[in-house]
Every structure is written in C-alpha cells, then in structure tokens.
Amino acid sequence: MQTSTINLAEKFGKFTEHWSPRVVAEMNDYQFKVVKFKGDFVWHDHKDTDEVFLVVKGSMGIELRDGMVHLSEGEMYVVPKGVEHKPFAESECHVLLIEPRGIVNTGDEGGELKAENDIWI
Amino acid sequence: MQTSTINLAEKFGKFTEHWSPRVVAEMNDYQFKVVKFKGDFVWHDHKDTDEVFLVVKGSMGIELRDGMVHLSEGEMYVVPKGVEHKPFAESECHVLLIEPRGIVNTGDEGGELKAENDIWI
C-alpha cells in the first residue's frame, strides 16, 4: 500500500516552466496536475469534458466569450465541457488542474504552448 | 454562463457539523465536497472507486489495515478503490473530498455517522 502523501508545495518546487502541467496523482481515470500560469494562454475548449481549476497560490483569471472569471488562492472554478476559455495570470500562479487522463492543455488548438501530456512529477 | 467562483473558506464557514460532506461543485459525474473532520470515523471502503482527500486546513490521518497516512494542509492522498480506511482528526480539519457522484461517506457500513448524500452548500 502506498502511504506517501502528495505535498502540493513540494511538487510546485520541482519545476519552473509555465503552462506545462505535471501529473501528481490519479483517481480512477482522472488526473490531478500541478501547473504554473504566467502571462496569457490560448483560447481553446475541451469538447468532451469539464475541467477544474483550483488556485493553490497567487491569483489568475479565465476569459470566457461572454464573461470573465477571477480566481484567488483557495478558489476553484469548473469550466464546462465545450466552453471556450483563455486562462491568464499577471503574476505567476500555482494551479491544481483536475480532468480526465489524456486531456491536452490546448484542446485541439495546438500551437507553441501545447504541452507534452501525461508527464508525472 | 456561470462565472462565479467557489471559495472554499467561505463554504467551510457555512456549517459546523463533522463528518457531513457538502457538495460545492461537479465535474462531469464527479463531485467536490467540503467536510469537517474531528474525532474518529468508521472503517469502510468504496468498492468501485478511488477517493481523494485534500487537506485545506488543519491536519488529519487515515488508518489503513497495513499502514497509516498523515496529511497536513496542502497535502492530498488517493485511497484506492476497495481499500479499507478509517479517517481521523485530533483537532478539526477541513478537507476537500473528490469522488464520483453518489458515493456514501460510510461506504456499505452505515451507522450513526452515515451522512445524507448529495447535499449542496
């Protein structure tokens, strides 16, 4: 039995790249990923799944086509499936993402911010 | 579009009962629940699903048949499906639970700590 816990701050201390999610845990076919946001991401959606953003440190925003979400430390937001969104952060923000295994950060958009998937830390 | 965020501290401020999970969000067919632990829970398992514990405030433990897990603020642990566990907390601990919709807190064990399911806050 694996009895080691996952310390989020420790995981965030292990990398510096922005917009590059690292998997820290799996629950059934879902993954928990730590990611550092800074600057502007790209507009994208995930056709088949909701996506959860939970802010562990700092603050961030999510642009939607018809609104804007602001998230501070200890706040979470569920982007519904199929909804276009563009995350951004003025200063570096530490985020826990929760979504099904196999989800690519840029959806179908690709581009230079597309991260390699399923990288564990 | 729902653009309101979920503030975990605010949700925890809305109830005082221990071992009584409240749903704060859904992602596909999974739920995020806030719960306050204090004292000892009952031994139980969830036959069909993993279960995630993420400590938002305080500290807690999870007894396993062959080990013990200690969780502090900012730490998480995945109890694999079918694994018997008994959560406990010496002082009140605020926990975010993540698991599929429909999971009962006591598994099949029931008893006086069995909470009503799917209560939103």
By the CB < 8 Å criterion, does A23 face chain B? no
Per-residue pLDDT tens digits for A12-30: 999 999 999 999 999 999 9
How sure is the predictor about A102, in pLDDT bands with cuts at 50, 70 and 90?
very high
Q: State mean pLDDT over A48-70.
A: 97
By the CB < 8 Å criterion, does B100 face chain A? yes
Sequence length of chain A is: 121
Q: What is the C-alpha to C-alpha distance for residues B55 and B52, in angstroms, rounded to an integer? A: 10
Assigned domain for B109 exists: no
Q: Which pLDDT score is estimated for B53?
A: 98
Q: Residue B44 is part of which domain span?
A: 8-100
By the CB < 8 Å criterion, does A119 face chain B? no
Assigned domain for A26 exists: yes
Assigned domain for A114 exists: no
Q: In a structure prediction context, what are the per-residue pLDDT tens digits for chain B, which is 121 residues long?
A: 566 899 999 999 999 999 999 999 999 999 999 999 999 999 999 999 999 999 999 999 999 999 999 999 999 999 999 999 999 999 999 999 999 999 999 998 889 999 999 999 9
Assigned domain for A90 exists: yes
By the CB < 8 Å criterion, does B8 face chain A? yes
Q: Which pLDDT score is estimated for A3?
A: 64
Q: Which pLDDT score is estimated for B4?
A: 81
Q: What is the C-alpha to C-alpha distance for residues A46 and B64, in angstroms, rounded to an integer? A: 37
Q: State mean pLDDT over A103-109.
A: 91
We report the CATH number of the domain holding residue A21 as: 2.60.120.10
Does B66 contact A1 at a Cβ distance shorter than 8 Å?
Answer: yes
DSSP character at residue B4? -
Does A50 contact B27 at a Cβ distance shorter than 8 Å?
Answer: yes
Assigned domain for A108 exists: no
Q: CA of B47, closest CA in chain A: separation in Å?
A: 12
How sure is the predictor about A1, in pLDDT bands with cuts at 50, 70 and 90?
low
Does A49 contact B70 at a Cβ distance shorter than 8 Å?
Answer: no
Q: What is the C-alpha to C-alpha distance for residues A85 and A65, in angstroms, rounded to an integer? A: 7
Does A27 contact B51 at a Cβ distance shorter than 8 Å?
Answer: yes
Q: In terms of Cα–Cα distance, which of B37, B76, B24 is closest to B53?
A: B76
The structural domain count of chain B equals 1
Helix (H, G, I), strand (E, B) or coil at A107: coil
> How would DSSP label each residue in B82-109?
T--EEEEEEEEEEEEEEEETT--TTTT-
By the CB < 8 Å criterion, does A48 face chain B? no
Interface ipTM: 0.95
Q: What is the C-alpha to C-alpha distance for residues B53 and B62, in angstroms, rounded to an integer? A: 10
Assigned domain for A25 exists: yes
Assigned domain for A3 exists: no
